[in-house]
Structure 1
Amino acid sequence: MSIAGWFAILFGDFFETGDRFLLGGIKGDVVDIGVLRTTLMEIGEWVNGDQYTGRIVRVANSYIFSSPVYNYTANFKFLWDEIMIPLRFESDMKLAKTILLEIVEKHTGQYNKEAVIAWGNMKRRYKLENASLDSQVFLSFKDNWVEINLRYAVDYRERRIVKENFFSEILQRFKQEGARLEIATETLEVFSSSSTKMK
């Protein structure tokens, strides 16, 4: 089965050396494709942000017949990622959206042209809808705050550093605005009446 899997990998366009993929519950970058096993440099597990753990993992090629193959890099090396920020209801949501879109343009604007070309190639190869590669901001109400979600396209290799840059600049910009933009936290209100004794 592993030898058959090897032939399928070579001629079935599943992945190639250098690709990042998830197979059989193991996620990593392909460093070698052997007759019986594919060798990965593992990412994830106890390390956040799709970074290397340092472990080399060998996955039997037969897994491609029994598990889905999630390829991060085939034909399109970008991922859509999101960050969520909880804001108090009193915050200026229009200002928040403007600031977030400015920040995302600053840190991911260089990807736009390349991502559009890559997505066009994907559309020519597969039957896909015309997904938006523009950064977007969405609002939703929660019990104690407004949840603001920022969606953006990013190079799969730079996902963690871009997210760290976003959060650093968001904290700085929101702090400059003072009471106009306040990040929300979980709150608890306790009510008591004159007949109630509280310990």
Structure 2
Amino acid sequence: MQVFEDFLKDPFVLKGLRLFIWIVFIIVCIGFLRKLAKRRIENLNLRYKAQKGIEVIGYLLIILLFLITFTLESVKDYTIIIGLFTAGLTFTLQELILSVAGSFYIFFVRVYKPGDRIEINNIMGDVIDIDSIYTTIMEMGEWVSSDNYSGRIVKISNAFVFKGPIKNYSMDFPFVWDELNILVTYDSDIEMAKEIIQGSAVELLSDYTDKSKANWAKMVERYYIENAKLDPTLAIGLTDNWITINLRYITDYKLRRSTKHRLFESIEHSISLTNGKVKLASATLQLLKIPEMNVRVNPMR
């Protein structure tokens, strides 16, 4: 007991206990103020920013307490102990430390923000929340085709911002390029088919193209990137069975599926009005020649 009492009377131990009590007090205050902001602030965007601001201020206070506790007074007698303790703590909590550092990196560098559509750690979805440890995503894809929600909510550690690429579909340039292939037969009027496909694309995508040009001009000014063609373009490919007309176009990143549906619907309707001049191709089996067979029938005796 005497050793334990002497240990508690040690000035360094007392400082550590005071620091621990202050940290617990600050964490409790963060939780209380977050709940208070959630109840009192009706505006969703303002409430989210207020909660994140409370978290950031709380963690800054904790860091400040560490600096005040261990730098204002001499701790040279405990240098080895502090070094070993810090190394062990860092190794044990490296994922947590990286996650907290990642949250600061996300907010200050603006890697992504709530509402952005991203792909991180091979998971694609819309960001619905970012806290000090996790990024919460409404997942897309998996067993669901195209860019539709799967219904699962995924929490990803913020540490992943330091571990791999982050694909952002909406930052700076909220448009993406997409393609569709129209297959026509060799006996079709290819020029008419090209005019139908190009005309449908121009008619349906003119709004996207005009809006994207202004955004792309800003991208060219900000980044080292060459200018790109934003109007719908066609490319033809030949196969053993049909001619492939590839349409490349730009669309809103949230409307890829509906845009492709509208394009296919418009193109199919226009082709049906050509009275057979343009025909959609499909995989078929053509029998070129039936081999000749000689059959001899012997009369019954």
> What TM-score results when the alignment is normalised by the length of structure 2?
0.63
Aligned residue number for residue 139 of structure 2: 42
For 1:192 and 1:23, the matched residues in 2 are separated by 58
- List structure 1 runs of 4+ shifted beyond 4 angstroms: none
User: Residues of 1 paired with 2:146 and 2:199: CA distance?
Assistant: 23
**Alpha-carbon distance in structure 2 between the residues aligned to 1:61 and 1:32:** 11
Deviates more, 1:61-70 or 1:77-86: 61-70
Match of 1:63 in 2: 160
Q: CA RMSD in A?
A: 1.7
Q: Which residue is equivalent to 1:74? A: 171
Q: How many residues align?
A: 197
Deviations 1:159-180 (A, max 9, x none): 1111111111111111111321
Q: Which has the higher helix share?
A: 2
Three-state SS of the structure 2 residue aligned to 1:151 is strand
Any idea what SS the aligned residue of 2:137 has?
strand
Percent identical among aligned pairs is 37
Residue aligned with 2:124, SS: strand
Q: Deviation per CA, 1:40-71, whole angstroms, max 9, x where unpaired? A: 11111122221112221111111122221000
Partner in structure 2 of residue 193 of structure 1: 291
1:112: Cα distance to partner? 2.0
- Pick the structure with more strand per residue: 1
Q: Distance in 2 between matches of 1:192 and 1:67?
A: 60
Structure 1 CA distance for aligned equivalents of residues 282 and 223 of structure 2 = 44
**Pairing partner for 1:172 from 251, 264, 269:** 269
| Structure 1 letter corresponding to 2:251 | V
Distance in 2, Cα, partners of 1:55 & 1:140: 40
Helix, strand or coil at the partner of 1:164: helix
Secondary structure at the residue paired with 2:254?
helix
Kindly provide the CA deviation profile for residues 80-139 of structure 1, in whole angstroms up to 9, marking residues without a partner as x: 010001110111111111111211122111122210010011111111111000100110
Task: Indicate the residue corresponding to 1:99 in structure 2.
Answer: 196
Q: Which has the higher contact order (CA 8 A, sep 6+)?
A: 1
CA distance in 1 between partners of 2:99 and 2:229 (Å) = 39
Distance 1:47 1:174 in 2: 30
Q: Where does residue 239 of structure 2 map in the other structure?
A: 142
Larger radius of gyration: 2
Note if 1:22 corresponds to 2:22.
no
Q: Which moved more, 1:64-73 or 1:182-191?
A: 182-191
Report the AA paired with residue 113 of structure 1: D
Instruction: Give the equivalent residue in structure 2 for 1:2.
Output: 99
Which of 108, 114, 138 matches 1:11? 108
CA distance in 2, matches of 1:189, 1:99: 28
Deviates more, 1:42-51 or 1:121-130: 42-51
1:129 lines up with 2:226 in the alignment: yes
TM-superposed deviation, 1:36: 0.8
Structure 2: gaps (5+ residues):
1-97, 295-301
C-alpha displacement of 1:195: 6.0
Question: Is 1:86 matched with 2:186?
Answer: no
SS at match of 1:178: coil
Normalising by the residue count of structure 1, what TM-score does the alignment of the two structures yield?
A: 0.93
